[in-house]
Each structure stands twice: as structure tokens, then as C-alpha cells.
Amino acid sequence: MRFHHAAHLLAAGHAAADVAARSGYTDQSHLHREVKAIAGVTPAAVAAAPWLAIDDVAWPGLPRS
């Protein structure tokens, strides 16, 4: 869930340091390491990832961040 929340904040244009703090990561480098481990790309690449656009279709009724 932490990654999911962070991915949405990144996609909304929030800075990585702010996303880390708001999503429960220790710091920006912690966010970066976990994003790389889960998605295989950097937080900047996750922010531009087209798969985030289908979230409302994949998870209808999910509260938005």
C-alpha cells in the first residue's frame, strides 16, 4: 500500500522527498530503493508510467490519494 500511495503522489507531480515523507518512507533514498525493487525503475519513471492511468479501471471504488 505504501508503494501504491507513493506512485499516485509521484504521478500527481509531487517531489520525491515530499512523497517519501507523506508515504511513510524513512527518507527519499528509502523511497528510491523500494521503487527500484518493486517497479524496476526510478521514481521519475514511475511518475510518468502509463499503467497508473488505468487504476480507476483496475480498482474501481478505491479511495484516491
Q: Where are the domains of the chain?
A: 2-58
pTM here is 0.74
DSSP label of 65: -
Burial-class residue 38 by CB neighbours within 10 Å (0-12, 13-18, 19+): middle
Interior angle at CA 53, CA 51 and CA 59, nearest 5: 90
Q: Which CATH number fits domain 2-58: 1.25.40, 1.10.238, 3.30.300, 1.10.10?
A: 1.10.10
Residue 26 φ/ψ, nearest 5 degrees: -65, -45
DSSP label of 14: -
6-64 residue pLDDT tens? 998 998 889 999 999 999 999 999 999 999 999 889 999 988 876 765 555 545 565 65
